[in-house]
């Protein structure tokens, strides 16, 4: 018996197969190349504001920690600073870290697998355990989705799996390399800083270490060495959080601490679905663990893998799971299962070599992967990620508003705070309550210029309870009107009508009053689908067909000025037209609305309405 080394033929074959697995991961992830999580875009907003010197904040008015992935945000910001596109950065990092799990499995395979000099099995067959572990990882729909999803799970999982890959060999080795322990500690520090619940793995892994190792000073001290750096990082981040945000937990974590029977049921359903996505390998892992314990063969390694897997699964159930598609919280679990499958296959190989031909072993593996692959194709969670494109609608809306309102910088309140805030780059309020307060008193105090309800496409009526109460107030309807915008995406999505509520008076988007004139933007009249505003030359314009009417809201003062004014014009893309001239006339004037009608023979594309104040009004001012 001899330990496989880097120069062995099998190591070369295993390395080549690892490269093939990496290629499979890349190809699989491209099925979800258009998927980007809205929460990932929240993180990117934090990263970009941090780069702009605005701190780790989502907006300027509220200091709330609306993220739970500090290291991911800082890493993204650092690489973006080098000149890369932030979206390409998170996609690239997702692939790199998920691919690194493949090579962690390659590393542990080289440690565990021994080949008898008299073995009749060929070199290709000898890598079968590695094939099983790596194929499970790269063929999982969750892994492919979250390679492209833009969140921290790939880094979180990679640091955990590499920490265990380095630690497990030391569980059976009396000689403990200090540098190895420090490296494990560093990797667990990355885990702890990548997610707010990362320190759980340090606690679990150190407990497993103390449980499996002799209770002498050397081994107990080694456990404390492993825990040292993650503990320092955890304490430091907690102190930073208290000083910067005034809270001991991220704002996103408070909902997870509100445990109820409903959240437990939701979490249980989530974990059942997550484990079902790993079938039949979930059952194979349990059988392999029982076999390892019975035969006392690598049971210490499987214990170090499956105890964290079990406790992490229980934790996910307790906090109520997650709303994102494709089980993003399942990535650490799937990484641990892939690791365990490799060791289980190594345990089984010595028996199968004597009883089962190589070709039949490969057939058995294929027999297990056929239902697994079918599950990945049919899983509604993976399908949801494949078809989820509303974030791209948010890109189109956000870019439109950025183009039109870059100068005014209106305060934008939105129910989907990732895509709209990231792509609009406007001052923002989060109606979901994750990144800013969302109670009615706070919203009234901030008095946003734009409200966007429900999805990025918008809606006339809100979907969240607090904003349902808001829209019922009289003050809301006195100050806000619906704005319909025809959105023409440039990212492959079909055109659609977007609905916003905009503040038409006492805000930056309403009429602009100067010393000599009042300018009313045409988009204030885009209050229906038929008159939806369109983006032309970085402005929102309204097309008014022959005979059509459209009205803009006005206040009493403006109504009085209009009744006295002798110089009123409509600014169009073709030039200016005199109101009450051949093409445009006032159809109706009240104390709160001005209605114009196109009585010409051509469609008029209106940019704004200009009312020149009478000379005596200017003199008084």
Query: CB-based contacts of 478: which residues, under 8 Å, 6+ apart?
Result: none
Question: Residue 172 pLDDT more than 90?
Answer: no
pLDDT band at 543 (very low <50, low <70, confident <90, very high): very high
CB-based burial, 473-494: b 16+ in 10 Å, e otherwise: eeebeebbbebbbbbebeeebe
Question: Residue 6 pLDDT more than 90?
Answer: no
Separation between Cα atoms, residue 415 and residue 413, nearest integer Å = 7
> Whole-model pTM above 0.95?
no
Q: Which domains does the chain have, with CATH numbers?
A: 2-34+65-387 (no CATH), 517-522+535-621 (2.40.33)
Q: Which pLDDT belongs to residue 247?
A: 92
Give the lowest-confidence range in 132-141, 369-378, 497-506, 565-574. Answer: 565-574
Contact 156, 334 (CB under 8 A): no
pLDDT band at 114 (very low <50, low <70, confident <90, very high): low
Question: Residue 285 pLDDT more than 90?
Answer: yes
What number is the average pLDDT over the span 333-359? 88
Q: Which pLDDT belongs to residue 128?
A: 92
Give the lowest-confidence range in 175-179, 414-418, 435-439, 486-490. Answer: 175-179
CA angle 455, 460, 464 (to 5 degrees): 55
Q: List, for residues 22-46, the tens digit of each pLDDT value.
A: 999 999 999 999 999 999 999 999 9
Q: List, for residues 386-428, the tens digit of each pLDDT value.
A: 999 999 999 999 999 999 999 999 999 999 999 999 999 999 9
Contact 414, 397 (CB under 8 A): no
Separation between Cα atoms, residue 112 and residue 165, nearest integer Å = 11
Q: List, for residues 498-515, the tens digit of each pLDDT value.
A: 999 999 998 999 999 998
Strand partners, 499: 484
Q: Which pLDDT belongs to residue 123?
A: 64
Q: Which whole-number Å values give the CA distances from 452 to 4, 324, 404, 432, 461, in the listed order?
A: 60, 21, 16, 11, 10
């Amino acid at each position: 018996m001899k330990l496989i080394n880097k120069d062995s033929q099998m190591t070369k074959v295993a390395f080549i197969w690892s490269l093939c697995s990496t290629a499979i991961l890349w190809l699989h992830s491209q099925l979800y190349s258009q998927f980007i999580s809205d929460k990932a875009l929240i993180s990117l907003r934090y990263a970009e504001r941090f780069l702009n010197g605005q701190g780790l904040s989502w907006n300027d008015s509220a200091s709330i920690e609306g993220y739970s992935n500090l290291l991911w945000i800082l890493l993204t910001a650092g690489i973006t600073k080098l000149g890369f596109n932030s979206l390409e950065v998170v996609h690239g990092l997702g692939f790199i870290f998920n691919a690194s799990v493949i090579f962690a499995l390659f590393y542990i395979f080289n440690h565990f697998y021994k080949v008898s000099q008299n073995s009749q099995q060929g070199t290709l067959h000898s890598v079968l355990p590695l094939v099983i572990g790596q194929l499970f990882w790269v063929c999982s729909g969750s892994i492919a989705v979250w390679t492209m999803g833009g969140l921290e799970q790939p880094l979180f999982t990679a640091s955990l799996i590499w920490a265990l890959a380095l630690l497990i060999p030391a569980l059976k080795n009396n000689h403990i390399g200090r540098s190895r322990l420090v490296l494990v500690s560093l990797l667990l520090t990355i885990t702890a800083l990548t997610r707010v619940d990362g320190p759980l793995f340090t606690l679990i892994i150190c407990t497993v270490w103390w449980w499996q190792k002799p209770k002498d000073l050397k081994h107990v001290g080694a456990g404390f060495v492993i825990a040292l750096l993650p503990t320092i990082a955890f304490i430091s981040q907690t102190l930073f959080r208290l000083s910067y945000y005034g809270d001991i937990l991220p704002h996103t974590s408070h909902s997870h601490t509100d445990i109820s029977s409903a959240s437990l049921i939701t979490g249980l359903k989530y974990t059942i679905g997550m484990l079902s996505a790993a079938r039949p390998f979930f059952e194979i892992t349990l059988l392999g663990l029982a076999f390892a314990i019975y035969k006392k063969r690598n049971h210490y390694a499987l214990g170090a893998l499956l105890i964290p897997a079990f406790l992490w699964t229980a934790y996910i159930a307790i906090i109520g799971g997650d709303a994102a598609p494709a089980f993003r919280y399942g990535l650490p679990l799937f990484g641990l299962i892939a690791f365990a499958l490799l060791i289980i296959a190594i345990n089984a190989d010595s028996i199968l070599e004597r009883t089962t031909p190589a070709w039949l072993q490969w057939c058995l593996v294929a027999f297990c992967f056929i239902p697994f692959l079918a599950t990945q194709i049919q899983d509604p969670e993976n399908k949801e990620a494949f078809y989820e494109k509303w974030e791209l609608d948010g890109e189109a809306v956000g870019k439109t508003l950025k183009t039109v309102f870059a100068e005014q910088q209106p305060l934008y309140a939105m129910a989907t705070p990732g895509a709209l805030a990231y792509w609009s780059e406007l001052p923002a309020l989060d109606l979901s309550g994750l990144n800013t307060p969302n109670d009615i008193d706070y919203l009234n105090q901030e008095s946003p210029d734009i409200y966007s309800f429900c999805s990025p496409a918008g809606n006339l009526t809100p979907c969240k309870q607090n904003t349902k109460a808001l829209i019922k107030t009289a003050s809301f309807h006195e100050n806000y009107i619906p704005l319909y915008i025809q959105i023409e995406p440039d990212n492959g999505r079909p055109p659609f009508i977007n609905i916003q509520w905009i503040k038409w008076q006492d805000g930056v988007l309403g009429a602009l009053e100067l010393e000599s004139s009042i300018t009313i933007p045409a988009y204030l009249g885009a209050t229906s689908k038929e008159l939806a505003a369109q983006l032309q030359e970085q402005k929102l314009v309204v097309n008014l067909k022959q005979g059509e009417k459209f009205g803009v809201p006005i206040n009493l003062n403006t109504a009085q000025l209009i009744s006295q004014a002798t110089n009123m014009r409509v600014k169009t893309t073709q030039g200016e037209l005199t109101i009450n001239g051949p093409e445009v006339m006032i159809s109706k004037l009240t104390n709160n609305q001005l209605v114009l009608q196109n009585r010409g023979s051509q469609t008029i594309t209106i940019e704004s309405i200009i009312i020149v104040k009478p000379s005596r009004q200017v003199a008084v001012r």
